[in-house]
Amino acid sequence: MDGHAETLIDLDAIKGNVTALREHVGAAAVMAVVKSDAYGHGMVPAARAALAGGASWIGVITVPEALTLRRAGVSAPVLCLMGVPGTAHEEAVRQRVDLSAGTVSLVREIALAARLAGRPARLHLKADTGMSRGGATARDWPGLVDAALAAEAAGDVEIIGVWSHMACADMPGHPSIDAQVAAFRDAVALAEKAGAKPELRHLANTPATLTLPQAWFDMVRTGGGVFGLSTLPGGPPDWLRPAMTVRTWLIQVKQVAAGAGVSYGHRYITPGPATLGLVPVGYAEGVPRGASGLAEVHVRGRRRPISGTVCMNQFVVDFGEEAAEVGDEVVLFGPGDAGEPTPQDWADALGTISYEIVTSFGGRTPRSYFGVAYERDSGHAGAGTRVPGRLPASPA
């Protein structure tokens, strides 16, 4: 460790979250969505931990993500959730990666790729049930189903699933929830009446998985929940554990007088004589500039707000008349075990969602893994040892 900053990922938390989600949904299968480098947690290690926790499927956004998993030896079913024309469908079919299609043209493109690959494509048909994003509208759905059935009859595809996505599952009582569930049931019924025999019907995202049993169907798709996060009001339930901790260390401490302006624009003025600590991360490392004066960090046993403007690679913390020393650990957020802020706390302070917070840090600072799952998968016996509720010892 170079003393700058690090992102710690608790693979046991990922594994435990998936196990808890499986128990929560009963008979429904669980797809662990590890798109966008697993929300900043690292796609391959996160996928392995999720599978160890009982996930039956892995979800990604793009074909390149899916192929990366295959090259890493992940053999479980993988679904690309976003249908993108012109991508490497032929190789995806060869690698038995499931593909999504919400347009007739994409079904035909995938069918052609399957013929070139010499095996049928595994296809999930996406219905737009009210989010107005990807998928076929009710008007276009019959044509999509007919195109897929024709490709199936020709031996080019297998219709594995029918799916959709919810717009407002994290807004309890929103009228679109029941409307989307009903629209999805209608879409499934139309497809089955036309002759489709999908193995899987899947609609629920993380908030629906947590609160809407009527949306579970054959499988739920959990992304944020895998990492101990959710977009529901108040954040995730206490049986889900945030898996990411971001920490760094003070690199300079100085004394200033009352009335000292701090950082760009002097948006913070010291109210009295103050000890200022310099924290070596900023918006280039993932700390939103909007966190200035709003987000808190945990240092020397208590939370303290960011003082003044967040810079590109640093920000300042005012300790008042209390002591601070170079090398003091600064935890930006974590699971909250020691009183540190959680990703949800940062999200609440900044008026956003925890998913944005963790993905902002993913890959921008050195990332390391710990937990029993890490020891087993990496062969580094003892390297990831942890005591529940504690992080690995600081290397600083």
Point out the residues that are catalytic: 35, 264
- In 87-219, which residue ranges form alpha helices assigned H by DSSP? 89-94, 104-117, 141-153, 175-194, 206-211
- Position 67: which residue type? L
Q: How far, in Å, CA of 232 to CA of 396, rounded?
A: 36
Which residue type sits at 319?
F
φ, ψ at 176 (rounded to 5°): -70, -20
Query: Which residue, chain included where needed, has tokens 């192929």?
Result: 67
- Residues contacting residue 25 through CB under 8 Å, at least 6 positions apart: 209, 213, 216, 220
3-class secondary structure, 9: strand
Gyration radius from the chain CA atoms = 24
Nearest to 132 by CA among 174, 173, 107, 164: 164
| CA nearest neighbour of 102 among 49, 46, 143 | 143
- In 3D space, the residue among 322, 287, 289 whose CA is nearest the CA of residue 304 turns out to be 322
Contacts of 159 (CB under 8 A, 6+ apart): 123, 125, 148, 149, 152, 191, 196, 197, 198
Q: Which of left, alpha, beta for 210 (phi over 0: left; psi -120 to 50: alpha)? A: alpha
Q: Are the beta carbons of 134 and 165 closer than 8 angstroms? A: yes
Contact status, residue 101 vs residue 71, Cβ threshold 8 Å: no
